[in-house]
Structure 1
């Protein structure tokens, strides 16, 4: 039996820890820069929230270029995931970075995990919010 493709998705802060290391030993993976999307953290009501909160998500979906960004991300990722599955690869890392690792990158990671779980159920998805450790407990329950 072939091993499952494990996809590790990280949200991170460019300012704090930087791009996450790939612990699989393969090196590489994807790094998407979310800083080109308007930052909800600059709006007072969203400052203390994260990309896991409905208000931030609604803002990103309706007031920014996030939907266009995410369509491009899905297209790029689908090519590699299909290829990795067909070749029996076991690891893929996908990283989303923004300034603080709180809003845009968190929501991007959440949406990507949902997309992959729906489109590629044969893959195992793990999500890590490197700056929002309290959200990792919620993500574990989603697996």
Structure 2
């Protein structure tokens, strides 16, 4: 019987099987910022798997390399609840990741006992080792036991970040420097039109009301068109106060966008509303988006929530 190459049968080429992949293991003390680090990595384009059983890790790496398109950046978030963290398990699992084409790094997050106790107090949570029954005692006992348990993991880490004195934004910046691969941080700004009669957008950071402008709805020859059509757009932009409003809105948004970038924020949603979300808000949204575009610090998207709803 002729042997069957299962990989060839599945339509996988050798290049797909050996696609290079960056792997970072994110670990550290509970409360030191693993979840925040994972979110930053996700925003940077990494595929993030949280608390995956160690026996599934080699298969996940293999699947990432076989995917179409392949996943080239994979982050594995592991905490003290996983067997992965046992000192005798760590070296075995890391050794299993050492494959041709796999660039592996271990990120360890730590913080002082005082800060960890305060963070657990704010969150009103018990330490994971207390909940698991591995430690009988106080929160401080749990932190001490975890620190001892993970000492060898920290020693083997490629990157150690102490979050004791770091804000969330400081941690974002450090993660960008270590794992952003030189990518310039960009803010994603969504300018969205809407109709007030359908309710306010729930996810808006800013809401502009342009109902002070004359409504094209009351002009029969303009009523069938939308704010994306030239007749309506020209009418709206030629009205008194429209130009001044747009200039003021742009000045405000540029200031805020610069601050968002400095603070590590990645998304901003600006809602522009009129009565029905068809004429004025659409025209103003398109104009603001057009004039905000072209920056190296942000990208601009447009959305028209209620266009065509009437």
Q: Which residue pairs with 1:98 in the alignment? A: 274
The answer to whether residue 183 in structure 2 is matched with residue 8 in structure 1 is no
Tell me, in whole angstroms, the C-alpha distance in 2 between the residues paired with 1:64 and 1:39: 13
SS of corresponding position for 1:45: coil
Q: CA RMSD in A?
A: 1.8
CA contact (8 A) 2:226 2:279 kept: yes
Does the residue aligned with 1:15 lie in a helix, a strand or coil? helix
How far off is 1:90 after superposition?
A: 0.6
Asked if 2 retains the 8 angstrom alpha-carbon contact of 1:38 and 1:64, the reply is: no
The C-alpha deviation readout for 1:71-115, integer Å capped at 9, x for no partner, is: 111111111011112222111110000001001100111111111
Matched, 1:132 2:132: no
The farther-off stretch of 86-95 and 97-106 is 86-95
Given the two structures, how large is their TM-score scaled by the length of structure 1? 0.81
Match for 2:202 among 11, 21, 25?
Answer: 21
Uncovered stretches (5+) of structure 2, i.e. residues with no partner? 1-179
What secondary structure, in the 3-state scheme, does the structure 2 residue paired with 1:36 have? coil
* Residue correspondence of structure 1 range 1-143 to structure 2 within 5 A: 1=180, 3-16=185-198, 18-22=199-203, 29-118=205-294, 120-132=295-307
**Whole-angstrom CA distance in 2 between matches of 1:67 and 1:105:** 14
TM-score by length of 2: 0.39
Structure 1 unpaired stretches of 5+ = 23-27, 135-143
Say which structure, 1 or 2, has more relative contact order (CA 8 Å, 6+ apart): 1
Residue 3 of structure 1 deviates from its aligned partner by: 4.7
Q: For residues 256 and 247 of structure 2, what CA distance do their matches in structure 1 show? A: 15
Maintained 8 Å contact 1:29/1:92:
yes
Q: Distance in 1 between matches of 2:257 and 2:297?
A: 11
Aligned residues: 127
Distance 1:81 1:133 in 2: 30
Task: Give, in whole Å, the separation in 2 of the partners of 1:36 and 1:63.
Answer: 10
- Judging changes above 3 Å, is the alpha-carbon distance between structure 1 residues 64 and 46 closer, same or farther for their aligned structure 2 residues? farther
